[in-house]
Amino acid sequence: MLIGELAERAGTSTRALRYYEAHGLVRPQRSANGYRVYDEAELRVVREIRALLDVGFGLDDVRPFVACLRAGNASGDVCPDSVLVLRRKLAEVDDYLDRLGAVRQQLHTQLSHAIAHREESCPRKRQSDH
């Protein structure tokens, strides 16, 4: 399988695949003419990468999962390093959820006050508050 086909089957771009390779995440073979040649295992690897990136992981976070797959595991999640990353990411997400919740709260009150103020300074124009 050449790079174009892999890109299509993995739902990404050739540019991204070369980028992953440049960062040591994918190791294709080379045919006589210098073309990158991928097997099915690499397809699984790339799909794992995509899935994790889509969830908000960085390339460095993805490495343990790829290594885990390459080590022969059916899932990239089961190795200790992957679990560590999963734990860390979960904590990060929880943290971010907290802060985002606080922001939401602030926006909400700010908005209520603004609208209250509008009603107060201009009570006759209370037509559409959506």
Partner DNA sequence: CCTTGCCTTGACGCTGGCGACAACGTTTAG
Partner DNA sequence: CTAAACGTTGTCGCCAGCGTCAAGGCAAGG
CB-count burial class (<10 Å; 0-12, 13-18, 19+) for 49: buried
Which of 78, 71, 65, 76 lies closest to 25, judged by CA?
Answer: 65
Residue with tokens 């909400």: 108
Binding-site member from 24, 39, 51, 58 for DNA (CB under 7 A)? 58
33 binds its own copies (CB under 8 A): no
- Smallest distance from its own copies to CB 50, Å: 14
- Contacted entry of DNA, its own copies, none for residue 117, CB cut-off 5 to 8 Å set by kind: its own copies
Farthest-apart Cα atoms in the chain, separation? 80
Tokens of 68: 């885990």
List residues near its own copies by CB under 8 A.
55-56, 75, 77-78, 82-83, 86-87, 89-90, 93-94, 96-97, 100-101, 103-104, 106-108, 110-111, 113-115, 117-118, 121
